[in-house]
Amino acid sequence: MRPRMLLMAFVLVAPVLAGCLSDDASTTDLTDPTERIYEDLAKAYEEALWDTTHSWSVPITPPLYDRLPSVIHQITSFDGTPIELGIFRPDIPGCPTDLGAAEFPEECKTPVIMDSGPYYTPSSIGTESTRPPTAIWMVPHGYTVVYMAVRGTGGSGGCMEFMSLNEQKDVDATVTWLGEAPWSTGAVGMIGRSYDGTTPFMAAAFGNPYLKTIVPISGVSDVPDLMFSNGTSEFRGPIMHNVVYWTTFGIGMEPTETADSQVCEEVAKGTATGAYTSATGDWSVAGQDDYWEVRKWREPILENYDGSLYIIHGMQDWNVNPRMVVPWINELQDSGLKVKALLGQWGHAYPDRTDEHENTRWDWAETLVRWFDAELKGIDVDTGPTIEVEDHRHDWWVMDSYPARDLVWRKLALNADGTMTNESEASGNRLLANPAGQQNLQRITLTSEEFSEPVRVSGLVRMDLKVTPSTATGGNVYFQLYDIYPDGRAHWMGQGWMNVLYHEGGNEKQTLTPGQAVIAKMESEPLEAFLPAGHKIRLVIDQEFTGSRSDGNPKPETGPMVVHLDGDSVLKLPIVTDFTRSPYRDP
């Protein structure tokens, strides 16, 4: 036992109606639950036995039960706040159908899977056709599925506090209520995307003994790190609480309740703190230091959680960036936790939605059934590879950890003649000047030689960039990487950014002296790229966010910088030599 101790362009995405799913998911010939039958997974991979008749994946393991009508129920949280739930249960023959039944025999109890977020309205929380269709998928396989409206949203009371400690306590209290319900086996899991993919991290941070597994999809593990990494600020930073969530997602509440919540302390605190941190990059505000601190869950999970994690994240997700889980995956493994991960080349999306991206994982629903059967029911069933990651050419690879623990680092010197070579060949200085709102005035472009053999660049690319700032207040440096084909085509690979006032990396402000050179120790967002022989890498250095992270707030004080292209400025590529392909094949 281990010790106990975030769309419109600017919001974390809400579940939406998934269409007319319920009729297709009803069972006719029920499988004997004592004889659980699974398709051979190796055969399913080899022959691509997936159901592709929908615009999303479908489990291929036979279902067990029909579904009972949903029940909308309210519980009371730790401080008396009412929390609204939508509850979906299987129709188990011979078992009570009423939630309030006096007694539930052991064979009538089920594990519970919860999705918790701000997007459930009083009219939708009892609707099973949500995205993902968790109730439609999982209830026929012997699970109770619960949708929870966080405080200040839907039919729940209180203020919309945007991931506050109160909200976290609500989630924890709900997990406990579900674990102790008379119809529950005491095994609870959580799933969800975006905000709903963040609440599982909240629950895990509390170390709740009923929480056995979480499936965060594009979840936020650290709010300030998402909004303000390396001293930069994205445009949601100053408005995330008061505009995006308080204004938008008190949508299910009565008008008087919405008006009352405007005076909520957390809304005022979020408004002040977001504005300050956006302007300075500093996570602390006098008297309000805890605002960001309570919205960081990585360390508490490492200290407190005893369950497992099945992490799903898009490597092109610039709403909730992939650094929310990479390289943290390896820390989770090192702490003794069981971790499975699916990291694909999609954005803020589910892995199996044809309307969200082309590289559909048709096996995902089946994998979820198997994962929950293993983690919540204790069934010994194959759940597939530990970690699968997709490269920028849409090939899937199997990993034991991510990034790989045996990376080989290849250094490329940045030369003044626009080349990148193994050794520094042409030293000199270049001016980097791009005042706010005036893009592409003085950007720097460098290109490597052709690779003589195939190369897998995997994880977080590093760059040491020697710069001399012209101001003491810092300014942004932004870089992008491209795969250059032999015919000259460019395929975008990844990006990284920094305010040079934080040139040591991380979130500790440094001292800058105008005219004095520093080494900006930069790191890219996680990326996965396979470059065949004959390809090159191109590096583009800028001051404003002009690529996928075009939502970055410009720094008005950014002044010209001198970039020293000499032996001190290098690009460091993380190379893996393990070329084990995933068994997954498209139908």
What pLDDT, on the 0 to 100 scale, is given for residue 16? 40
Nearby residues of 501 by Cβ (< 8 Å), 6 or more positions away: 231, 281, 473, 474, 475, 509, 510, 512
The answer to whether residues 469 and 520 touch, using CB atoms and an 8 Å cutoff, is: no
The answer to whether residues 430 and 444 touch, using CB atoms and an 8 Å cutoff, is: yes
Phi, psi of 440 (to 5 degrees): 65, 25
Distance in angstroms (rounded) separating the CA atoms of residues 224 and 291: 10
The answer to whether residues 369 and 383 touch, using CB atoms and an 8 Å cutoff, is: no
Residue type, 314: G
What pLDDT, on the 0 to 100 scale, is given for residue 353? 87
Q: Which domains does the chain have, with CATH numbers?
A: 22-232+295-384 (3.40.50.1820), 408-576 (2.60.120.260)
Best CA proximity match to 153, nearest among 105, 118, 101: 118
Phi, psi of 136 (to 5 degrees): -65, -40
Q: Across the strands, what pairs with 17?
A: 130
Best CA proximity match to 241, nearest among 273, 213, 217, 215: 273
What pLDDT, on the 0 to 100 scale, is given for residue 256? 45
Angle at 35 between CA 33 and CA 38, to 5 degrees: 100
pTM confidence score? 0.88
User: Could you read off the pLDDT tens digit of each residue along the chain, which spans 587 residues?
Assistant: 343 333 333 344 444 433 333 333 333 333 444 457 787 888 898 888 899 998 889 999 999 999 999 999 999 999 999 999 999 999 999 999 998 888 999 999 999 999 999 988 877 776 766 656 889 999 999 999 999 999 988 899 988 888 899 999 999 999 999 999 999 999 999 999 999 999 999 999 999 999 999 999 999 999 888 877 777 766 565 555 454 555 554 544 444 455 445 457 766 666 666 655 655 556 555 445 587 889 999 999 999 999 999 999 999 999 999 999 999 999 999 999 999 999 999 999 999 988 888 889 999 999 999 999 999 999 999 999 999 999 999 999 999 999 999 999 999 999 999 999 998 887 888 888 765 555 556 789 999 999 999 999 999 999 999 999 988 888 889 999 999 999 999 999 999 998 898 898 877 889 999 999 999 999 999 999 999 999 999 999 988 765 554 455 555 556 788 999 998 999 999 999 988 999 998 88
What pLDDT, on the 0 to 100 scale, is given for residue 205? 98
What pLDDT, on the 0 to 100 scale, is given for residue 276? 57
Distance in angstroms (rounded) separating the CA atoms of residues 57 and 362: 5
| Three-state DSSP string of 59-98 | CCCCCCCEECCCEEEEEECCCCCEEEEEEECEECCCCCCC
What pLDDT, on the 0 to 100 scale, is given for residue 55? 87
The answer to whether residues 290 and 502 touch, using CB atoms and an 8 Å cutoff, is: no
